């Protein structure tokens, strides 16, 4: 199992629109890829803007490649990202999961 982490930053005044974009455009695209197990889209605001961290859980590195392309470390962007993001980081981080444990009813173990 692979956890993929991506970070992006928008101006505060663009944060609500970017959230909406992520829900209506990016989330369905992620969900269409076989092998995606779970996703978390998060946001944290500070004085430099709104930080978005996307954490996705994939069955395998092959599943990540189906989403990201031949180089699974390369970040994937949509044309609309040019309108919102202050910069486009070149890479996402892929981590091999070696242990998992769920607590409570809110989490589903991979």
Segments forming the whole domain that contains residue 24:
2-96
Let me know if residue 52 belongs to a domain. Answer: yes
CATH number, domain of 70, equals 3.30.70.100
Alpha-carbon distances of 15 from 21, 43, 90, rounded to whole Å: 10, 9, 21
Q: What are phi and psi of 16, to 5 degrees?
A: -65, -45
Look up the pTM and report it.
0.87
Predicted confidence pLDDT, tens digits, the chain (110 residues): 999 999 999 999 999 999 999 999 999 999 999 999 999 999 999 999 999 999 999 999 999 999 999 999 999 999 999 999 999 999 999 999 999 887 766 655 54
33 part of a folded domain: yes
Nearest to 77 by CA among 87, 66, 62: 87
């Amino acid at each position: 199992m692979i956890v993929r982490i991506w970070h992006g930053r928008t101006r505060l005044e663009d944060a609500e629109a970017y959230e909406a974009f992520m829900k209506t455009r990016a989330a369905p695209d992620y969900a269409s890829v076989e092998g995606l197990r779970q996703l978390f889209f998060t946001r944290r605001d500070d004085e430099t803007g709104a930080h978005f961290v996307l954490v996705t859980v994939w069955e395998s590195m092959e599943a990540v490649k189906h989403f990201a392309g031949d180089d699974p470390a390369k970040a994937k962007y949509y044309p609309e990202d040019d309108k919102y993001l202050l910069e486009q980081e070149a890479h996402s981080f892929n981590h091999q999961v070696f242990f998992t444990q769920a607590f409570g009813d809110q989490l589903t173990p991979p």
